[in-house]
A and B are shown apart, each in its own frame.
Chain A
Amino acid sequence: MYASITRRLVLASGLAAALSVSGAAIAQADELDDIVKAGVLKVGIFEDFPPFSSAGTDLKSQGYDIDVINALAKALGVTPELTGITGQNRIPSLIEHKLNLLVSVGVSDERKKVVAFTAPYAPYSIDVMGPKALAVKGPADLAGKSVAVNRGTLEDTSVTEVAPEGTDIQRFNDYNGVISAFLSGQVQLMVVGNDVGAAVLAKHPDIEPESKFQLLNSPSAMAINKGEDRLLAKLDETLAQMKKDGTLDAISKKWLFIPLPPEL
């Protein structure tokens, strides 16, 4: 009996070893070739992150990210396969090769240790927004003005940090409160991410809101597995082409209601 258990253990570990070898072999194969050969680009997307990606009325995903993914897939001559992911599981899913590509990833040094980043492809910023007619150029101009924020968010803490004495920061429970207070004129300014800002710009209010200045600018990039240099080069080349021929600018205007920032 003991002998049989031992034999099984030996078998199992042998199998595991074989598996890990073949795993390594897969990882060493070129991912770009694999994608083209399979004809499918597997991309992880957020399911509820408008206007970058969210379900439309027909329940199909739509948004900035989706348009970019479709354009990329077209350039590679493959079909995109979208998988809903969460902020917690997306990098593990990529590393385990369940996905080829992640979109809407903020570039950070910690993440650079585990994944490779393409060039940034989408603006992501926290802006102080106000009516066109109101002159605000920097934090010092906030004194004496009322500013709406969503309480406890990064917007709240970052504007609280820079706001001078005499700034009337009004904290609301959610973005609806912030947007309503701003659009009804109850506050002069609001601090939101450009994703929320786009929802306001989409309404084309009479006050013509615009970004007065940025509290944070962290354009989103795409992430792929490390070591896939050919895939990375191909993606960067395609993104550069999309920036040059205005495709990306058109996507930005369509979903964010702003032209693509020149620094991208």
Chain B
Amino acid sequence: MKYVWVLILCFLGGFILPAQAQEKPAKSTGNAALEKELYEVELKWMKAEHDKKLSGPDSMGEMWMDEFFDVLPGGRVVNKQEMMDMMNKADPKPGTGAFPVDFKIRAIYGDIVLATDHTTIKGLDSSGKIVPVREMNVLRMFVKDKGKWRVAGAGLVPVAAP
């Protein structure tokens, strides 16, 4: 009989602990700190793309998960290698690139965070002046991998002109 109770305890332990780990995070202060941390990851992500940083610390190669993918404006889906190739072929001028604001965590599922932001793409006009060329609302996905936040991908939705 004693062993039956031990087995029941072990069985319950196998369910209760993971269930607790999946509990929804507390809103407000907890999320605010995580939001700040992930926004910093995002800014590094944008810098890695602009600077064509393919490997090493804070590079696309390091920050992006192997299964990384983007759904680009227009609907094309690109994987990690295709996106890195695209960024590497680009010729970004200083002051141009992607500028995200209004970063907001929308959902947390354990080590996965779903967030949105508003991203402005800046480029050069015919006179060489830096101007916004595209406005987007973006769904960004982050994964905590071996204790470090990394990037899983994004869906980039152009904002319709008012």
Q: Do A and B bind each other?
A: no
Q: Give me the interface of A with B, judged by CB distance under 8 Å.
A: none
